[in-house]
């Protein structure tokens, strides 16, 4: 996309500081997380968490004062802007600076009402390589192990959906909590907690069977970590965007 476009511009301006291959690479989800971390460490104290704290400067909405190319922003990060308070950031490597730029660009993109992903490709990933149906249900198809996603777009924004995919355990809704018990006879059962009170526990086990237990008959019980896999390492940011684009179409009753 933009990156590939700027890559060809870059080849014409070989006098620039940046190694072209660096920017031509397709950034992955984990690159974006690294970029986010670098932003918090090196930039947010001046620019603010959303990048818009400095008057007339807005880093988080693809709203720069000039239509900078990616490599121009890398150069600004590495060298600062002479004769202004914008400092050079010597601790940042070129690679990190490129991740930072990818992160800033992605913030701008997730602002758009239409995500840059492709719905059909996202659906294919969801039903295929993503193995999402092993745990999730959409309009009655799939599994009840994880939360039902049939109307996920009504309760989650594109940015929140992206976060669920990259950092699954960061915000778990109360109904999505996983629970494990061990009975006095030694049986271990884990699954999704449906309900519990002072004496009993009801849960869906990993075979999707409703199970009920008396707490007095249990050796141990408690929350266990949900196992929604993080997609940050094996998926490109384009694939994540495709999945998010598909998920944002999920409103119960809407044509799928």
Binding footprint of ligand HEC on the chain (CB under 6 A): 42-43, 45-47, 54, 57, 59, 64-66, 73, 76-77, 81, 84-87, 89, 92, 100, 126, 130-132, 134-136, 145-147, 152, 156, 161, 164-165, 168-169, 172-173, 176, 226-229, 231, 243, 247
Cβ-based neighbour number of residue 89 at 10 Å: 19
Residue 131, C-beta contacts closer than 8 angstroms, at least 6 positions apart: none
Would you say 247 and 43 are in contact if contact means Cβ atoms under 8 Å apart? no
- The distance of Cα 38 from the centroid of its chain, to the nearest Å, equals 16
Q: Give the residue with the Cβ less far from ligand HEC, 172 or 204.
A: 172
Minimum CB distance to ligand HEC smaller for 63 or for 217: 63
Residue with smaller CB distance to ligand HEC, 108 or 226: 226
Q: Which is nearer to ligand HEC, 217 or 233 (CB)?
A: 233
Calpha distance 215→213 (Å, rounded): 6
Closer CB to ligand HEC, 10 or 247, in the complex: 247
Contact between 114 and 158 (Cβ < 8 Å): no
- Measured from the CB atom, is 112 or 134 closer to ligand HEC? 134
User: 43-50: long-range contacts at Cβ-Cβ below 8 A with a sequence spacing of 24 or more?
Assistant: 43/89, 43/100, 46/85
- State the nearest-atom distance from the C-beta of 157 to ligand HEC, in Å: 11
Question: Shortest distance, CB of residue 238 to ligand HEC, whole angstroms?
Answer: 14
Burial code of 199-214, b = ≥16 C-beta within 10 A, e = fewer? eebebbeeeeeeeebe
C-beta closer to ligand HEC: residue 10 or 72: 72
Dig out the tokens for 67 from the structure: 């239509």
Give the nearest distance from C-beta 105 to ligand HEC in angstroms.
11
CB-based contacts of 30, cutoff 8 Å, min separation 6: 232, 233
- Kindly state the smallest distance separating residue 222's Cβ from ligand HEC, in Å: 16
CA angle 243, 179, 195 (to 5 degrees): 100
């Amino acid at each position: 996309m933009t990156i590939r476009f700027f890559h060809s511009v870059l080849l014409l301006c070989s006098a620039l500081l940046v190694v072209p291959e660096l920017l031509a690479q397709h950034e992955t989800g984990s690159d974006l997380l690294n970029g986010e971390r670098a932003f918090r460490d090196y930039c947010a104290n001046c620019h603010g968490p959303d990048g818009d704290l400095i008057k007339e400067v807005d880093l988080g909405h693809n709203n720069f004062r000039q239509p900078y190319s990616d490599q121009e922003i890398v150069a600004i990060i590495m060298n600062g802007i002479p004769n202004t308070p914008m400092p050079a950031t010597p601790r940042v490597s070129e690679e990190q600076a490129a991740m930072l730029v990818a992160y800033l660009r992605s913030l701008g993109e997730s602002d758009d009402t239409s995500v840059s992903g492709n719905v059909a490709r996202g659906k294919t990933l969801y039903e295929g390589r993503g193995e999402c149906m092993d745990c999730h249900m959409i309009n009655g198809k799939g599994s009840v192990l994880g939360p039902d996603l049939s109307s996920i777009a009504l309760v989650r924004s594109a940015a929140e959906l992206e976060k669920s995919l990259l950092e699954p355990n960061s915000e778990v809704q109360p109904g999505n909590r996983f629970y494990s018990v061990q009975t006095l006879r030694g049986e271990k059962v884990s699954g999704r907690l449906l309900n519990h009170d002072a004496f009993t526990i009801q849960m869906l086990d990993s075979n999707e069977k409703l199970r009920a237990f008396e707490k007095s008959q249990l050796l141990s019980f408690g929350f266990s970590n949900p196992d929604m896999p993080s997609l940050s390492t094996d998926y490109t940011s384009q694939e994540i965007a495709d999945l998010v684009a598909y998920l944002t179409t999920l409103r119960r009753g809407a044509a799928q």
